[in-house]
Structures are given as C-alpha cells and as structure tokens.
Amino acid sequence: MTIDEVAMEETGSPRLGQENFEQTLTFFWHPVCTTEELAAAGDRPLRVTLLGRDVAVARLASGSVVALADRCVHRSARLSVGWVDGENVRCGYHGWAYGSNGRCTEIPSMPESPVPARACVPSYDVSEQYGLVWVRLDGRARTTVPAHPSYERLVAAPHSLKVLMGAPYTWPVAAPRRVENFVDLAHFAWVHDGTLGRRDEPVPPLPGIDRVDGEMRFAYDPPDMAVEETALFGHSEYRMPMPLTVSIEFWLESGAYRHLWMTASPVDMATCRAFWTVSRDDDLDGDDAEYMRFQQVVLDEDEPLVCNQVPREMILEPGFELSVRTDKVSIEYRRWLGQLVEACANGPAALHRAITANVARTTRLRVTGAA
C-alpha cells in the first residue's frame, strides 16, 4: 500500500466538508493585520475579515487591542466606521459605546436608563506578536500563536539579525493551499527552475516527517546549483505550526543563517492573506530591498499556479485529488488537517488533544533517497 493510500484510508470520513473545516479553523490564532496597518487606521477601527466574519480591530487609549464583530447591535452599522473613544469603540450612527468585552457601556439617547443586557457584540481574543495582530474567534481549544524562530532570536540578541516584514498579500486561494505550496518539494524544479530548483532534477527527496509540539517538521537539502546571493537556499529545516504557518530556517554554505516565515490567514475558505517575514544574520548592512526583490521573484513564479488551482478551496475528502509518493509532505499535512477536522467534530477538548499529541511518524514513513 502506498503512502497516499494509507493517508486516504486514515482520513476517509464524511465529516471533512468545508463547513467542518471552517469551524476547526475558528479555534486557531490567525493574523488579521500588521501593527503598522492598525496604527495607520488612526482612531478608526480597522475592518478585517477572518473566516468570512467582518471584524473591527482597534487600539484603545490604554494601548490594548480589541477585536469586535463589525456590526452594531442597534441598527447594524459597521463599528469600523465609528471611532475609538477612550476604552470604548463608539458606533458612528447613534453613538453607542462598546467596551473591550463587547458589552455596550453607553446609549447616549437614554442617559437615565440602564443599558439592556442584550446590548453587546461578540468580542474575540487578541494577541500582538511579531509585529502582527492575531485574532482567535473561539478560545476553547486553548491553541497558541505559532512560533517564530528568528523573531525569538532577535528578542534574545537584538542586533544579531534582521527580521524584515514583507508586504502582506491577498490571493484568491484557500490558506491551506498557500501553505501546502511552500512545502511542495516537487514544484521547485518546475515553477522555480533556475531560481530554487532545476528542471533536470525533478525527483525530490522524501524526508522523514515528525510531529512535535503541534508542528510538522522535516529537513530538506536543495539540489546543487548556483543561486543569487540574496536567495534563501541551503540546508533547510521546515517547521509547520498547524494549521496554517510555515517556518523555514536555512543554513547557507557560507555559514549564514536565513529564515522565511509565513502564515496564511483564512479570509474565507477560498481566499487568504499571507503575512510573512524574511530574516538574515549576514550582510546586516546590505540593501534590504534586494532581499525582498528576490522573494518577489519567487512569489511571482508561484502566484500563477497557486491562484489557478480549482476549486480555490482545499478539499480534504479522500480521492478528490490524486496524490503520489513524492507528495509525501503534503499528504502528511493533509492527513493532520483531516485529523484536526475529525477531532473538532468531537469538541474543543478533542481538538486540543489532536493538536498537542506528538506522533513521531518518522520510523514508519521515512523513505530515504529519491522515489
């Protein structure tokens, strides 16, 4: 039995539909904007969309950030066209004020009357990390914000490396398809021929894959080829904090350390907004724009393919797409996604167990060398 047949057998379930997949993603942290974007909004809440829900994100006077459903309970005006007023977000239509927990604190037209208990809007968990604002729609599965190895290095040793924030981009494709593309070892030879791969070396290695601390992990060594100095290229250690983040640490032949980190925020089940950073511990005085330019070359190579996958959604049902042995990483990724969706059907505690259970699959699935 091939690996893909094993995967299909294990994930075969009628519960893997888009509705359950979306529900599962509500339990995880997703970035919705950069802190810079939030600052640029001034005293207006910033309107973002996460999993199809419109959310108003605002920094209150105290500095804390709130995320409220972007719909006033009174006459449904968007709170994102209101403004921040001290520790409240004030609706622009009739001036109702909402605190950080979503409860209405004031109805200006009725100053003498108590605020009705039903006068509240959903408020969501917020965290600021790595220059990004993260939102979690449902906190019951006790998930955590994905790790960012080079940012952690930067905090520990402030001048030891540079972490550059890329410009976020929105692609008309599901977030897990965006993530899967990052770890698709067979596409380098075709999409990135001459940039990151070689058309005349189309057979990728089949890495051993581990599950550690809610992450999939594997290593990859690229083919022998000359690349640009600004390329992120060399022995690569991949970490995939489930469900939608990829971290790749590169050790160049020169000894330099570089890092590419991306998390795909699910705007909806067919659209994602990618937030990403590029880090390096060499050439610290070099021109950052050159490093970003190389990443743009890679993005421009990926976009026409990744954004022309049909349907735009990631379909987890078995047999919808045909996997082969060299899709090992994406088979394993989809397997875990499927298991998370399955677990979520049994409630947040089961989902928590499914994300934290560490299963070293290396022994059973390790296949060394080429296919």
Q: How far apart are CA 59 and CA 45, in angstroms?
A: 8
Binding residue (CB under 5 A) for Fe ion from 210, 215, 249, 302: 302
Which of 61, 351, 359 has its CA nearest to residue 211? Answer: 359
Beta carbon nearer to ligand FES, 27 or 96: 96
Among ligand FES, Fe ion, none, the one that 302 touches (CB under a kind-dependent 5 to 8 A) is Fe ion
CB of 119 to ligand FES, least distance (A): 10
Tell me how long the chain is.
371
CB of 45 to ligand FES, least distance (A): 13
Beta carbon nearer to ligand FES, 78 or 361: 78
Residue 156 identity (one-letter amino acid):
A
21 within 8 A of 239, measured Cβ to Cβ? no
Among ligand FES, Fe ion, none, the one that 238 touches (CB under a kind-dependent 5 to 8 A) is none
CB of 100 to ligand FES, least distance (A): 17
The most distant pair of C-alpha atoms in the chain lies apart, rounded to whole Å, by 78
Element (H, E) at 13: none
CB of 121 to ligand FES, least distance (A): 10
Give ∠ CA 172-176-182 in degrees, rounded to 5: 95
180 binds Fe ion (CB under 5 A): no
Tokens of 280: 């390096």
Binding site residues, ligand FES, CB under 6 A: 72, 74-75, 77, 91, 93-96
CB of 299 to Fe ion, least distance (A): 8
Dihedrals phi, psi of 252, to nearest 5 degrees: -75, 160
> Quick check: helix, strand or coil at residue 347?
coil
When CB distances to Fe ion are compared, the closest residue is 302
Dihedrals phi, psi of 54, to nearest 5 degrees: -80, 130
Beta carbon nearer to ligand FES, 6 or 115: 115
Find residue 329's DSSP bridge partners: none
Beta carbon nearer to Fe ion, 215 or 302: 302
Residue with tokens 């709130």: 66
Residue 264, C-beta contacts closer than 8 angstroms, at least 6 positions apart = 175, 176, 178, 179, 244, 245, 272, 273, 274
Beta carbon nearer to Fe ion, 249 or 342: 249
Among ligand FES, Fe ion, none, the one that 169 touches (CB under a kind-dependent 5 to 8 A) is none
Residues 307-366 that bind Fe ion (CB under 5 A): none
Using CB under 5 A, which of the segments 58-66, 209-217, 296-304, 338-346 binds Fe ion?
A: 296-304
Binding site for Fe ion (CB under 5 A): 302
